[in-house]
Structure 1
Amino acid sequence: MFLHEITKLNEVIPNERQYPFHIPAIRQLDRLRLEKRVTFFVGENGSGKSTLLEAIAYQCGFHTGGGGRNNSYELDASESHLGQFIRLSWKPKVSNGFFLRAESFYQFASHIDELAKEDLRIYDYYGGKSLHHQSHGESFLSLFKNRFGRPGLYLLDEPEAALSPTRQLSFLSLIHELQKSAQLIIATHSPILLGYPDADIIHFDDQPLARIRYEDTDHYQITRRFLENRQMFLRELMAD
């Protein structure tokens, strides 16, 4: 474990009615303790999980559009509004790590191509070739396999966005290898990734934030009910 507590600095927030401080999960946040090497953030879209992940990245010095401490490139709306109002507690502090943001991964891949114009060896960290010359899923796995691995903090925002179910299963084995020397915080909607054993799942739809069992997540329950009663679900969804 490296990062063990996140504290929101409520006393210096200028206006709690403004975004993102009015989001219920963010508004109710005081302290969040991290107790496992793998922690999942779950919740509906807009629940604040990606917002908090981005704020952690900001405090770590990672590019909030995606990348590590040494990545610098222009990206609209990459500034974290919450980042300057949280404090991270470390044991011990690490500077290595990475922030994966699925929605801006294309811009990150273009940034790597620009760096490669000066030194082609940069591709060694991304599978030996441009991320743009790999499929979306291949580029994600190349990043995980080659850029990750050293002890550090890895923040992943919806990594399943580019991964088929089969590759999500492959990613589970990568998570298992990474967590031996690193800490991962993952915001996800994937019931497959959430099935990783002995991880903490933090539920952002409850206030204050609470840990939840895998079997109690909507992701598990809805997926299971749909697979077991597909025809019934479809009839209800498509009824005139």
Structure 2
Amino acid sequence: MKYLLSFKLSGERLEESCPHIYPYSVFRGKDPEPFVFSDITVLYGNNGSGKSTILNIIANKLELKGREHVTANGLGRIDYTLKYNNECAYDLGVDENSGLSFHEIPRNSMYIKSEDILYEIKKIQQRDVLSSDMLYYNMKQGKNRKEAERYLSSAEGKKRLVEKIFAQEKYSNGETALQILNDLITPDALFLLDEPEVSLSPANQVTMAEEINKMARFLGCQFIIATHSPFLLGTLNAKIYNLDTCDYRVSKWYDLENVRYFYDFFQKRKDFLNNR
């Protein structure tokens, strides 16, 4: 389902004396046509290509949950971020069931960043680990297990756990990231995903990409994904915009620089791999 049909970045240009004003500076020397989205669309590009910036611009223009409110940069009295967003334009898609144009983006649509997932992982893992720690500590102080569990369930125990959760740091894992992503994505909505592969092994990246394919096909979801992961690029049934080109041209996944780099890397070492 295509809730967002197209998006046009601002075509305005600032004076040459203002080359570093964000977000205009990100798109200097670029001349893209409007993005025309599929059920799954990928914004590919190396670091600094602007793919995350574009996702946040779209999220702010559509007022999606999870958007980052970038403030004015203090150069004079102009809020250049707001100015740029106001200069962007978009078109909504058509409901495939009724044939009528959408009047708004579904309310459960979201902009999900990799750091959002990592933050949720940290909270979950801290809660599990610290809860066990507190249980052990109370039993060590002479309480039996039932008494210790009763304390953890009390208002005082819950308060102590919350205090500990945000006082320590634990590590995350890919399986939890996959579960959180699955929990956040609901049917019939638009989702902007910014580098969702962060913290995932190659196998889990492929698993996630396969799930996204299924969600787009069977659950009525639309995805716009910023990534340079060859595992996502080679698995997603996606339209791919190459942000490393001046015109943001549509490209095949196997022609992209990052994918070719991986291919060349293993080709040079194929004798080692073939001898295993």
Please give the TM-score of this superposition, normalised by the length of structure 2: 0.63
Query: CA 1:215–1:30 in structure 2 vs 1: closer, same or farther (change >3 Å)?
Result: closer
Q: Partner residue of 1:33? A: 36
If you compute each CA radius of gyration, which structure gives the higher value, 1 or 2?
A: 2
The answer to whether the Cα contact below 8 Å between 1:25 and 1:48 also exists between their aligned partners in 2 is no
* Matching residue of 1:148: 185
Aligned to 1:118: none
Deviation per residue, 1:102-138 (Å, 9 max, x gap): 13545566899xxxxxxxxxxxxxxxxx9x9883423
Identity of aligned residues (%): 26
Give the number of the structure with larger relative contact order, counting CA–CA contacts within 8 Å between residues 6 or more apart.
Answer: 2
Matched to 1:98, the amino acid is: M
Q: Which residue of 1 aligns with 2:175?
A: 138
201-210 or 102-111, which deviates more: 102-111
Cα pair distance change 1:192/1:22, threshold 3 Å = same
Q: What is the Cα deviation at residue 101 of structure 1? A: 1.2
Stretch deviating more after TM superposition (159-168 or 91-100): 91-100
The structure 1 residue matched to 2:51, chosen from 49, 52, 64, is 49
1:174 deviates by 1.0
With over 3 angstroms needed to count, the CA separation of the structure-2 counterparts of 1:30 and 1:228, relative to structure 1, is closer
1:198 Cα shift? Answer: 3.7
| CA–CA separation in structure 1 for the residues paired with 2:112 and 2:210 | 18
Match of 1:121 in 2: none
The yes-or-no answer on 1:99 pairing with 2:111 is: yes
CA distance in 2, matches of 1:175, 1:133: 28
Whether the 8 Å CA contact 2:42–2:225 is kept in 1: the answer is: yes
2:70 alignment counterpart: 79
Rate the CA distance shift 1:173–1:104 in 2: closer, same or farther, 3 A: closer
Q: In structure 1, what is the equivalent of residue 253 of structure 2?
A: 214
Q: Compute the displacement of 1:19 (Å).
A: 1.8
- Residue number in structure 1 paired with 2:22: 19
| Equivalent residue number for residue 145 of structure 2 | none
Q: Kindly indicate whether residue 219 of structure 2 is the aligned counterpart of residue 228 of structure 1.
A: no
In the alignment, the residues of structure 1 paired with residue 257 and residue 118 of structure 2 have an alpha-carbon distance, to the nearest angstrom, of 30
CA drift at 1:154: 0.7
Q: How large is the Cα RMSD of the aligned pairs?
A: 3.1
Q: Deviations over 1:186-237 (max 9, x none)?
A: 11121010013541110001111100111100121110110111399xxxxx
Post-superposition CA distance 1:150-188 (Å, at most 9, x none): 111111111111211111121022111211211101111
* Equivalent residue, structure 2, for 1:199: 238
In structure 1, distance between residues paired with 2:206 and 2:236:
13
Is this contact kept in 2: 1:21–1:27, CA < 8 A?
no
Which stretches in structure 1 are left out of the alignment for 5+ residues? 66-77, 113-129, 233-240
Compare 223-232 and 140-149 and name the one that shifted more.
Answer: 223-232
